[in-house]
Amino acid sequence: MLRLLLLGGALGVAAEQAAPLAFTMLQLTRVYMGNSMFRGNASLNGQLSHLLEEDNITQVLPLEPPEAWAQRQEVVITYLRTFRQLVQLFNKERPTKFTQHLCCHLGCRLYPNGTAQSFYEVTLNRTAFLSFHVPNATWERRWPGELPVATFAQEQLMKYPITTQDLQYFLNTTCVSILQQAQSARTGKVSGRSRTPLVLGLVLGSLVLLGMALGIFLCTGGSC
């Protein structure tokens, strides 16, 4: 029995060591008759690091110095306000009386052998909508069947470096560096504080939503 307990403990430790580190972000946007509501969060290895509620975004973990965080916080708030204003403008041009739910889920994983995996997935009304193919920095449609909105949004997102090359850099480099910092802390290696713009992911997320809003409000009830 003792041997079994020791073996079980050893297997548990090995499994914990083999589990990848993860940094993930979730952003939810609800649009209804010109009104926009925002919710979201980010977590570092399962621990809440950032929280988004309406126009307020907070840093739960002290991952960035107060001065740097205050600047990035203002950037996110500005983008969210811009998104809300554009939704209101689109609604005046082409009113809609139904609710749209947009969800962005992005992040990266770092495995013990040093390899990393990044992802960015988008759903519309709880159905797979778009995904970002990180190696090629390209957006791919996931909607089952033909949907003009998906095609339009994909074309819009592919036009701008901030939603292609910049997003690829964030997922492959910035996001992974966050996990490398966490890995160094776990192993006890000395490492400087990461000053990478963690909130950049949320900024990119709002820009992606902005691109999809163009598609949704310009295509709904008409032709793209």
> Distance between CA 80 and CA 153 in Å, rounded?
18
Instruction: Give every CB contact of residue 178 below 8 A, 6+ residues apart in sequence.
Output: 23, 44, 63, 194, 196, 198
Q: Is the pLDDT of residue 137 over 90?
A: yes
100 within 8 A of 216, measured Cβ to Cβ? yes
Which sequence spans correspond to the domains of the chain?
A: 21-187
What would the two tokens of residue 101 be? 């739910």
Are β-strands 127-133 and 116-124 bridged in parallel, bridged antiparallel, or unpaired? antiparallel
Question: What percent of the chain is predicted at pLDDT more than 70?
Answer: 72
Question: What's 73-102 look like in SS3?
Answer: HHHHHHHHHHHHHHHHHHHHHCCCCCCEEE
DSSP secondary structure code for residue 135 in this structure: G
Instruction: Give every CB contact of residue 14 below 8 A, 6+ residues apart in sequence.
Output: none
pLDDT, residue 208, reads 57
Q: How many CB atoms lie within 10 A of CB 151?
A: 15
Question: What percent of the chain is predicted at pLDDT more than 90?
Answer: 11
Q: Is the pLDDT of residue 206 over 70?
A: no
Task: Say whether 60 sits in a helix, a strand or coil.
Answer: coil
Mean pLDDT of 184-208: 52
> Distance between CA 171 and CA 23 in Å, rounded?
10
Tens-place pLDDT, residues 7-57: 344 334 444 456 889 998 888 888 888 788 888 888 888 899 888 888 788
Task: Say whether 107 sits in a helix, a strand or coil.
Answer: strand
Q: Which amino acid is at 25?
A: M
* Closest C-alpha to 45, from 58, 57, 63: 63
CATH of domain 21-187: 3.30.500.10
Sequence-separated contacts (24+) of 50-56 with Cβ below 8 Å: 50/25, 50/198, 50/199, 50/202, 52/27, 52/76, 52/202, 55/80, 55/81
What would the two tokens of residue 71 be? 């600047």
